[in-house]
Chains A and B, each alone.
Chain A
Amino acid sequence: MSVKVLFFASLREALGVGEISVDLAPAGSSVGAVREALAARGGDWAALGPGRAVRAAVNQDMVPASHVLRDGDELAFFPPVTGG
């Protein structure tokens, strides 16, 4: 299955990309698993690594790392929000 992954703000700048498509081998992957897999790419992707403050949303709702993804989901990673 495949999900669209969006990045915002400092994370988008660190990665140099705002949107990618990710193919997930096992269906039922969690948001945390996708984050780990991307961080494991090394280089700039370390911005998603453990210890970095990263929040996630699926289909535009904030979710915990344990959230299970479905085919066609829109997943987004971003730093803690600073509006207002």
Chain B
Amino acid sequence: MSVSVQTEDFDLARETAALTQGRSDCGAVASFVGLVRGASDGVSAMTLEHYPGMTERALGQIEAEAHARWKIAAVRIIHRVGRLLPGEQIVFVGVASSHRGEAFAACEFIMDYLKTRAPFWKKEETPSGARWVDARETDETAASRWDSSA
């Protein structure tokens, strides 16, 4: 299963190694880990809500799109849901390929699309109460730059 939506944490070393387990055709593994940012923003905790079913479906479509655009060997996407504390891991994207160019590009593409197309919503706990995080225009801009390079 290359896409997981789960409450449990994940092991970075194990997930990265699993991408190339039992194969020797890959010369590159690129990965991204997203963390809960807390202290600077006064956030004491964060709760991630999602749309069960559509979330897995959307992530699977993003993975398929990455395979269609680049010659990549393996992809792993993990996104956590539920209540998370500052410093905790939220999301993992790992891509293995023959050469680094494809791995870097596909990893960034997957994160950009995930940010704008996968149905997750963050609610932050702050000293002044809980608040839903607003979507950022810069995320739309980041995702749209892949449209023209298709």
Q: Which residues of A contact B (CB under 8 A)?
A: 6, 8-10, 13, 53, 57, 60-62, 76, 78-84
Sorted nearest first, the 7 A-B pairs with minimum C-beta distance are A83-B120, A80-B135, A9-B121, A60-B54, A10-B132, A84-B115, A82-B133
Contacts of A6 in B (CB 8 A): 51
Closest-by-CB residue of A relative to B118 is A83
**Known contacts A9-B121, A53-B135, A84-B90; 10 further A-B pairs (Cβ under 8 A):** A8-B49, A8-B121, A57-B54, A79-B121, A81-B115, A82-B120, A82-B135, A83-B48, A83-B91, A84-B118
Cα(A65)–Cα(B150), bound, Å: 25
Cα(A57)–Cα(B48), bound, Å: 19
**Counting CB contacts under 8 A, is B116 at the interface?**
yes
Closest-by-CB residue of B relative to A10 is B132
Q: What size tier do the contact residues of chain B reach?
A: 20 to 34
A57-B119, A81-B118, A83-B118 given as contacts; is B91 within 8 A of A76 (CB)?
Answer: no
Contacts of B79 in A (CB 8 A): 83-84
Task: Tell me which residues from 15 to 61 in chain B have a Cβ below 8 Å from any Cβ of chain A.
Answer: 34, 48-51, 53-54, 57-58
Which of A53, A76, A80, A83 has most chain B Cβ within 10 Å?
A: A83
